[in-house]
Amino acid sequence: MVFPINSIERISPVDWREDWIQDAWSAAVLVYLGLVQDVKINPTDKWLFDKYVKKLKLSKKSMARYKFDDQILYYDDRVCVPRSRRTELLNIYHDNILHCGHFGEVTTINKICPNYYWPSMTVDIRTYIKGCLQCQIMKKFRPKKDGQLEPLDIPQGRWLELSIDFVTGLPTTQSQNDMIMVVVDRFSKRAHFIATQISLGSVGTLDLFYRFIFAYHGFPRTIVSDRDIRFTSSFYKEVTERLGIKLLLSSSNHPQTDGQTESVNKTLGRLLRSYCSQDQDNWDHFLPHLEFVYNSTFQRSIQASPFEVDLGYVPNEPLLDIGNELSARNLSAVDLSKTIKVISLRTTDFLKQSQEDMESHANETRTANDYKLGEYVLLHRDAYFTGGKYLKIQPILLGPFKIVKIGKNTVELDLPSSFKKHRVINIKWIKKFVLDKDRYPKSLPRTSIERIQRAQEIIAVIGYDVESHEYYCKMKDVDPTLTCTYSLEEFNKLTSSKKSSLLNNFNTLVNTN
């Protein structure tokens, strides 16, 4: 491979004389060395110039470190770098592929410090790297447990607030079932495991609700779920709204919102592995008994079994010992009514205590949502898609995107219209964007001729308007919060290789929504 000539940059300190006399620090040194009489520093830097002159007068050791040799100013045999040349130097030693290649703070400091010097150079290097766009979007980012835990309100009664999810990845049974619909009452924790098929749509989901839930327990007030397409269709929303049911949907890629059903799914998965691994094409035959076992098992959060909280008693288990008393038939109607009321009050107390303990424990390592409206953030790709080709050479974070709305533990981002996913994102998937405007000296191209001339400076396509046939692009050395619009004709002026790479990255996002 032959590198382009503009990637091989040279540093020539002999040409820095004008830069030195314009910088407050180096100008003070040159004046004190008697090498210049007049300096050209900015009037706002006069106080800084006077500060350095005073320091040199009071410190002989400091003055002894400087020398001017062969038209170059040195500090302890290291070249003094004036302010106007520092960004150029940092660009070469951090951004340039031949010198550094976007390594971290320690590596960059170790490359620059042996040969160059300026006051507070370590702080400047760290600030420069912190504001590097490529480092922010390309380097590994481990999502934090940001945002304090906000448990859902305690349900007011049985089967008034439900949660629903699906267990997939199961083998097809002889009855052609390959998925389980899991519905849980958030108060009693009682669950129904309904065998079905993965081709189930919104209409089929509502049909199962009527047959197995509404017919036996009545109509709930709320249903908590993830953003499965079955729950986000207009038909499902319209029917549930007409029935007076409020839908509570999780934010994108944040199943913890529906933590109740996720927990039940784990238990169900363990039961299926334990009892169905040797009879995989008949797991749906075991499902009713697994449901009975689950609902009759003591749960720590409610200090009882789901059956006991829901019904007031545990239904008869298989009668293996004919001498045992039938537990479901030993209470009078009045006693049963009193028992159910006591169980309800006790369960509410247990649920409250469980939530308080969980919230207190979880929030020890969490931070509150401190993002601000209008702030720009980067979005982790795992919150948006988990598939796609060539992920090893794709950016890890996307953006920057502007925050347009803030929730307790979520933010709504101003995502391009081409991104079809929901715009409300849990804050564990975002990272604050650090904008260093000094790094972006160029402005957006204004005319069609300028856009065509600078087409090779496009670094990313973030959107496409199918009606106007326009591409929304990010440009090299331009503030990344700004977007340039290219017509189809202008965009096609790109080289085939460049255009292919840009569209591959863009299509990875669009096609995995």
* Residue 312's CATH number: 3.30.420.10
Query: Domain range holding 31?
Result: 5-131
- 43 Cβ contact partners less than 8 Å away, ≥ 6 residues apart: none
Is residue 485 within 8 A of residue 446, CB to CB? The reply is no
Identity of residue 22: Q
- Do 183 and 285 lie in one domain? The reply is yes
288 belongs to a structural domain: yes
- Do 166 and 297 lie in one domain? The reply is yes
Neighbours of 218 (CB within 10 A): 10
- 258 Cβ contact partners less than 8 Å away, ≥ 6 residues apart: 163, 164, 165, 224, 225, 226, 250
Is residue 202 within 8 A of residue 235, CB to CB? The reply is yes
- Do 348 and 204 lie in one domain? The reply is yes
Per 3-state DSSP, what percentage of the chain is helix, strand, and coil (rounded to 5)? 45, 20, 40
178 belongs to a structural domain: yes
- Do 385 and 401 lie in one domain? The reply is yes
One digit per residue, the tens of pLDDT, for the chain of length 513 reads: 344 444 445 678 888 988 898 988 988 888 888 888 778 888 888 898 888 888 888 887 878 888 888 889 999 989 999 998 988 888 888 887 766 678 888 888 888 998 999 998 999 999 888 888 888 877 766 655 555 555 566 777 888 888 888 888 888 888 899 999 999 988 888 889 999 998 888 888 888 988 999 899 988 888 888 777 777 777 777 778 888 888 877 655 544 554 566 778 777 877 777 677 677 788 888 888 888 878 887 777 777 888 888 888 878 765 444 444 445 445 566 665 665 555 555 555 554 565 556 555 555 666 666 788 989 988 887 776 655 555 656 677 777 888 988 887 788 888 776 555 567 888 888 888 888 887 888 999 999 999 999 999 998 888 888 888 899 898 988 998 888 999 999 999 998 888 988 888 787 666 544
322 belongs to a structural domain: no
- Do 429 and 481 lie in one domain? The reply is no
139 belongs to a structural domain: no
pLDDT tens per residue, range 1-50: 344 444 445 678 888 988 898 988 988 888 888 888 778 888 888 898 88
* Residue 26's CATH number: 1.10.340.70
365 belongs to a structural domain: no
- Do 30 and 106 lie in one domain? The reply is yes
409, containing H or E segment: none
Q: What is the rounded distance in angstroms from the CA atom of residue 138 to the CA atom of residue 104? A: 12
Q: State yes or no: cis peptide before 441, omega within 30 of 0.
A: no
Identity of residue 42: N
Q: What is the rounded distance in angstroms from the CA atom of residue 288 to the CA atom of residue 192? A: 9
Q: What is the rounded distance in angstroms from the CA atom of residue 276 to the CA atom of residue 272? A: 5
Q: What is the rounded distance in angstroms from the CA atom of residue 41 to the CA atom of residue 24? A: 6
- Do 304 and 398 lie in one domain? The reply is no
364 belongs to a structural domain: no
Single pTM value for the model: 0.55
- Do 228 and 260 lie in one domain? The reply is yes
- Do 442 and 428 lie in one domain? The reply is no
Using the Cα atoms of residue 152, residue 255, residue 137 and residue 129 in order, give the sign of their dihedral: positive
Is residue 220 within 8 A of residue 160, CB to CB? The reply is yes
Query: Which among 111, 131, 151 is the end of a domain?
Result: 131
363 belongs to a structural domain: no
Per-residue confidence (pLDDT) for residue 364, from 0 to 100: 63
Number of domains forming the structure of the chain:
4
Is residue 39 within 8 A of residue 27, CB to CB? The reply is yes
- Do 442 and 422 lie in one domain? The reply is no
- Do 93 and 78 lie in one domain? The reply is yes
Query: Which among 391, 419, 434 is the end of a domain?
Result: 434
Is residue 251 within 8 A of residue 146, CB to CB? The reply is no
Query: Which among 325, 355, 385 is the end of a domain?
Result: 355
399 belongs to a structural domain: yes
- Do 344 and 196 lie in one domain? The reply is yes
